[in-house]
């Protein structure tokens, strides 16, 4: 699976553990994994890994999309 990333320019420091950083970017740029940000993709991945059942997936998807 190819990882998709997007750069977000901010003036914060690199202490935020929710973001990934690319040392090749300018200071203050953060690399955010799109897949990490999309809840539906997260639950699809969890379903594929067998971490949740199909019923749990459907319940979570409905809750996310409502």
Task: Give the pLDDT means over successive 10-residue stretches in the chain (66 positions).
Answer: 48 49 58 71 96 98 94
CA–CA separation, 10 vs 57, rounded Å? 34
User: What confidence score (pLDDT) does residue 12 get?
Assistant: 44
Contacts with 39 (C-beta within 8 Å, 6 or more apart), sequence order: 60, 64
Evaluate if pTM is beyond 0.85: no
User: What confidence score (pLDDT) does residue 37 get?
Assistant: 74
User: What confidence score (pLDDT) does residue 41 get?
Assistant: 92
- The domains of the chain are located at 5-33, 36-65
The single residue listed with the structure tokens 């929710």 is 18
User: What confidence score (pLDDT) does residue 65 get?
Assistant: 93
């Amino acid at each position: 699976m190819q990882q998709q990333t997007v750069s977000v320019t901010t003036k914060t420091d690199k202490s935020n553990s929710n973001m990934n950083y690319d040392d090749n970017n300018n200071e203050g740029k953060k690399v955010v994994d799109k897949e990490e940000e999309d809840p539906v993709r997260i639950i699809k991945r969890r379903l594929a890994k067998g971490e949740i059942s199909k019923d749990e997936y459907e319940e979570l998807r409905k809750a996310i999309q409502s």
